[in-house]
Structure 1
Amino acid sequence: MSTRSDADVLIVGAGASGSVAALELASRGFRVVCLEQGDWALPDDFPAGKPEWELARLKQWNSSPNVRQAASDYPVDSAESPIEPLMFNGVGGSTILYAGHWVRALPSDFRVKTLDGVADDWPLTYEDLRPFYDELTHFMGVSGLAGDPSYPDEHTFPLPPLPIGKYGLVAAHGMEKLGWHWWPGPNAIASRAFKNRSACMRYGSCESGCPTGAKASTDFTHWRDAIAAGAVLVTGARVSRLTMDTKGLVTGAEYIDRDGNLCHQAAGVTVLAANGIGTPRLLLNSASAQCPDGASNSSGLVGKRLMCHPLASVYGIYDDDLGSHLGPTGQALQSLQFYETDTDRGFVRGGKWNLMSAPGLLRHNQWEPGQDWRDTMGPAFHDRLGRIGRYTEWGVTIEDLPEEHNEVVIDSDVTDSDGIPAPRMRYVIGENSRRMIDYHLERMSEAHLAAGAVALDPIPVVRESGWHLLGTARMGSDPATSVVDQYCRSHDVPNLFVIDGSVFVTSTGVNPTATIMAIALRAMRHLADNRSAQVTSS
């Protein structure tokens, strides 16, 4: 087994949170090495603008690793889940394929136990994260409009909002009729040229990669600067387990390189940024005589309380051409009308609505599991074809409550291509979420009808919606009931940090990327500021 020279900090994963860690720490003088099992994606690799782009999105650029099956992917057994886990392995992680929604959590999200008597309060607050939200919003080049009355602070944006288009204007008029909140959606997509990124060209294919760099994926926003600051990025490096010393400190990680060689990267501090499935998989696969239940798992909560944000949608079909087939696929509008708890609705918490475009021929002619594909052919095909430009989606991000039976475990019968045991996802949509979905489906239908829709197509649960993988290594103040502290440091292993969505205490009801990155920046800045007090293995 070959060993790379020691690093001050080893980062596992080059996605949203790992990118933040690499740039922050390398800029502060740390010797940083990041192991990423995927590779760089070049702009011309993305199918946008090519005739076959929708076909490529169904396979090579599918959001699910189980469908994509690239060399860098690992299988996730999702047979026991109505939600398919979605992720991307590569430099930039899932920001390569995300739609770019850039939404802050709300103050209530951090005080759910106090306010609503469920779940737990976070060990930090909105105010603790606010300066990091502000910094990242301007660093990422987010397009948005200040003054959303749903927030207590009038946070600003470096770029004006993306045009909401005719379909956004029609939807806004519908919301106005009902007296409901709406706001131009903030997106990490450049409405004007920003730094080294061009303005959005409206390909409408954000979820299969942005060929112009208008979308703020962290390969553009962070990694070039991190490497210039001295960070070493090793691609094609699949981490198999963490290594520990006799003092219970992590000494680095073993990984398999693209030639099949077993290697070891030594480091004084190790930071996990492998998402809500990859991180518990690695911790559980790192079981040893010292920690038979997995690394950093004295609480027994590693892999537990998985939250996935079930997505429900209502498509509205309109008589007029609304131009809804034009990009970007980031949200044109968002609504927080039904975000806060109202117990008269029969559930607690709520969700964020987003109005999305509906580009592409194939998207209008796909069928759902359980339907006969022949029902989309013949006259039905021509009917669906006529919907292009007249078809818009109100979708809702449902706040998922943490439940211990929703979990990520190691599947002893399935391995990845390097023989490393794969994860299994066990997930059930809870009763509170079910009630919430039903309620929001009714309200979104009302919104479409108020806007003039002539027909509705509701989808109670979108299976391919598991982007938001949260809660499987939660933060907290008590080591008995949490895995890491408020600065993402392991209670059990003082030189181990977890900075991805695993640390979420509750799921919030908004897209989590902004919060994941804000938590990561706060944690890594605290690490850097307290370098002299940090325990290391060297």
Structure 2
Amino acid sequence: MSAAEGVADATSTAGASDDTAGAIPETDVLVIGAGAAGAAVAWSLARRGVQVVCLEQGDWIDDADIPKAHRDWEVRGRHYWNASPGKRRGPADYPVTNLGENPVDVYMYSAVGGSAVGYGGHFWRLMPSDFKTRSLDGFGVDWPIDYEDLVPYYEINEQQMGVSGLAGDPTAPDRHDLALPPVPIGTIGNKWIDGFEKLGWYYWAQSQAILSVDHKGRTACVNRGFCAFGCPSGALSLPSNTYWPEALDAGAHLVTSARVREVTIDDDGHADGAVYYDADGVVRTIRAKTVVICGNGIGTPRLLLMSTSERFPDGLANSSGQVGRNFLPHVQTMVIAHFPERTDADRGAWGGTVSSRHFYETDPDNDHLRGFAMVAMRGYSPLNTALQTAPWGEGHHAALEHHLNHEATIWVCGDDEPEAHNRVELDWDDLDAFGLPGVKTYYTLSENSKKLGAHGIQRATELAYAAGADSVRVLGFDSILGWHLLGTARMGSDPTDSVVDADHQAHDVPGLFIVDGSSFATGAAVNPTHTIQALALRAADRIWELRHAE
């Protein structure tokens, strides 16, 4: 893979995939997508002796393509590593057009490891209330599972990924100690703690999928910072350096540069495989007893809607009309604080300081339902700081010197109610290199989300000044940050208003499982990767149990 082709991974495993697997005509379980969910499913099943083949549209990432391994890492990060497929336009991408009153700047990667290759490693569990927001608050819909159903899988994932953090959070249920101690919070972490304590607000050490100490053959974080630009040391825990090596050792096959055109069904309506283009553009068919789609909240509805037939003219598993609906990107923004003294923002894990769910639950005194998390972090990278604060011309250097390494950010992430008009649709006017449709996303903030977002900005601004900031600027909601792509094939008990059941099996299609962020019933107000993987591990158990019940 060349640098121009896309994204990177902290551990080069090029060649670990089974290129001959393209010729495999059938398998027990076919997994589509090698990201956070696909890796966990493949790992869990392959270790039990199940024959697993995974088709991944992207490729492995070579160490040489990690931006942070180069002096011009920020320039690289804005081009071939850009989180937005519309800006990156790599050969593994497909067109994405973002519309609506508040368009989402969709961030996703096609690569082994999926969108996690460009994440910062924030690793939250959901709260028990997140699964019952309709019953508790009249908000959204209830999940058909509870927090307790995921606890054993959260625990497995924390050990497997190598999560650093601190048990004992007084706002969360009891839990075992995390795999590793917290990553260092640095100078700015102590400032944020001062702010929280002045205001009397709760805070806690941020859990990170970043190694604070050596773990399972990988070395600890060396504090290079700005983790989303890649981690040359391999301390950032990714599906590609945790789950995939073990899954491949256990016998799983991973076929890269495999662009799936449709999921197929047999005469009885049972999922039985997929049609895809291999690395040479040859159309291939693979049969499977079970098909698991792990394509994220954009790619999964795209594939389902492309998989039409006489039985499913509106798209596979879409009798409810809910495929692509209820798009949940979270109510996200950044409040950026300027401090008179240096913040050492360039040292340490970008998100690895302290965080708070002080305003997470519904409060009857608020004018909105549900709440938000605040993650008090380090500041932006030099080029991003310059582009935001120091226009070219006279005064450029003075402005940059004023802001650079004197800033820190508070990321606000609010709960987002599922609404049918927020959606993902096929775009037949903008095709990929194989003639397959791109997608259009439509998103508009609800009145509740607008009020919740305004409240989050207000509280984050208070925190910034309490921590010693002398000025604050806000990114706002134009456009919506698009890291979290959820809800577009949601889980539920009623086949008329959901796509999959509590086991992630499609209501309409036996043998078809949908396991990624698209299956979220509601979005909660924290980063979803940990929960996506916990759900995937649970779904793998259900697939195993169903196979042995036959």
**Whole-angstrom CA distance in 2 between matches of 1:149 and 1:115:** 20
> Which residue matches 1:532?
548
Structure 1 residues 329 and 462: CA distance shift in structure 2, 3 A: farther
Shift of 1:175: 0.5
Q: Select between 424-433 and 321-330 the one with higher mean Cα deviation.
A: 321-330
Contact kept in structure 2, 1:119 and 1:506, CA below 8 Å: yes
Given the alignment, which residue of 123, 135, 139 partners 1:114? 135
> Which residue matches 1:205?
226
Runs of 4+ in structure 1 deviating by more than 4 angstroms, as ranges, are: none
> Which residue matches 1:430?
446
Aligned partner letter, 1:476: G
Matching of residues 179-198 of structure 1 within 5 Å: 179-198=200-219
Q: Which runs of 5+ in 2 are unaligned?
A: 1-21
Aligned partner letter, 2:250: A
> Which residue matches 2:44?
24
Shift of 1:310: 2.6
**Whole-angstrom CA distance in 2 between matches of 1:171 and 1:150:** 19
Given the alignment, which residue of 302, 326, 343 partners 1:322? 343
> Which residue matches 2:505?
489
Shift of 1:118: 1.9
Structure 1 residues 62 and 160: CA distance shift in structure 2, 3 A: same
Secondary structure of the corresponding residue to residue 282 of structure 1: helix
Shift of 1:3: 6.3
Structure 1 residues 52 and 462: CA distance shift in structure 2, 3 A: farther
Secondary structure of the corresponding residue to residue 277 of structure 1: helix
Matched, 1:101 2:125: no
Matched, 1:521 2:537: yes
Shift of 1:431: 1.0
Shift of 1:43: 2.5
Contact kept in structure 1, 2:83 and 2:118, CA below 8 Å: yes
Given the alignment, which residue of 161, 173, 182 partners 1:140? 161
**Whole-angstrom CA distance in 2 between matches of 1:117 and 1:175:** 30
**Whole-angstrom CA distance in 2 between matches of 1:456 and 1:359:** 14
TM-score with structure 1 length normalisation?
Answer: 0.96
Given the alignment, which residue of 477, 484, 495 partners 1:479? 495
Given the alignment, which residue of 53, 57, 64 partners 1:33? 53
Structure 1 residues 438 and 92: CA distance shift in structure 2, 3 A: same
Contact kept in structure 2, 1:326 and 1:359, CA below 8 Å: no
> Which residue matches 2:97?
77
Matched, 1:446 2:434: no
Aligned partner letter, 1:161: P
Matching of residues 367-516 of structure 1 within 5 Å: 367=388, 375-461=391-477, 463=479, 465-516=481-532
> Which residue matches 2:12?
none
> Which residue matches 1:13?
33
Contact kept in structure 1, 2:335 and 2:460, CA below 8 Å: yes
Contact kept in structure 2, 1:310 and 1:462, CA below 8 Å: no
Aligned partner letter, 2:520: F
> Which residue matches 2:302?
281
Matched, 1:4 2:20: no
Contact kept in structure 2, 1:365 and 1:376, CA below 8 Å: no
Secondary structure of the corresponding residue to residue 387 of structure 2: coil
Secondary structure of the corresponding residue to residue 91 of structure 2: coil
> Which residue matches 2:13?
none
**Whole-angstrom CA distance in 1 between matches of 2:37 and 2:167:** 25
Matched, 1:230 2:248: no
Matched, 1:52 2:72: yes
> Which residue matches 2:145?
124
Percent identical pairs in the alignment equals 43
**Whole-angstrom CA distance in 1 between matches of 2:548 and 2:179:** 35
**Whole-angstrom CA distance in 1 between matches of 2:193 and 2:505:** 44
> Which residue matches 2:315?
294
Matched, 1:268 2:289: yes
Aligned partner letter, 1:19: A
Shift of 1:208: 2.0
Contact kept in structure 2, 1:243 and 1:253, CA below 8 Å: yes
Q: Select between 494-503 and 326-335 the one with higher mean Cα deviation.
A: 326-335
Shift of 1:339: 0.2
Given the alignment, which residue of 175, 178, 186 partners 1:154? 175
Deviation readout 1:466-521 (Å, 9 max, x if unpaired): 11100000111111121111110111111000000010000001100011111110
**Whole-angstrom CA distance in 2 between matches of 1:10 and 1:377:** 56
Contact kept in structure 2, 1:476 and 1:484, CA below 8 Å: yes
**Whole-angstrom CA distance in 2 between matches of 1:171 and 1:205:** 19
Shift of 1:377: 3.8
> Which residue matches 1:371?
none
How much is the aligned-residue C-alpha RMSD, in angstroms? 1.4
Secondary structure of the corresponding residue to residue 196 of structure 1: coil
Deviation readout 1:38-78 (Å, 9 max, x if unpaired): 00012232010421000001111111111111111111111
Q: Select between 356-365 and 128-137 the one with higher mean Cα deviation.
A: 356-365
Contact kept in structure 2, 1:37 and 1:239, CA below 8 Å: yes
Matched, 1:65 2:66: no
Equivalences, count:
528
Shift of 1:380: 4.2
Shift of 1:375: 3.7
Given the alignment, which residue of 165, 182, 189 partners 1:168? 189
Aligned partner letter, 1:180: W
Deviation readout 1:162-181 (Å, 9 max, x if unpaired): 11111010111111010001
**Whole-angstrom CA distance in 1 between matches of 2:297 and 2:275:** 20
Given the alignment, which residue of 276, 280, 291 partners 1:259? 280
Q: Which runs of 5+ in 1 are unaligned?
A: 369-373
Aligned partner letter, 1:217: L
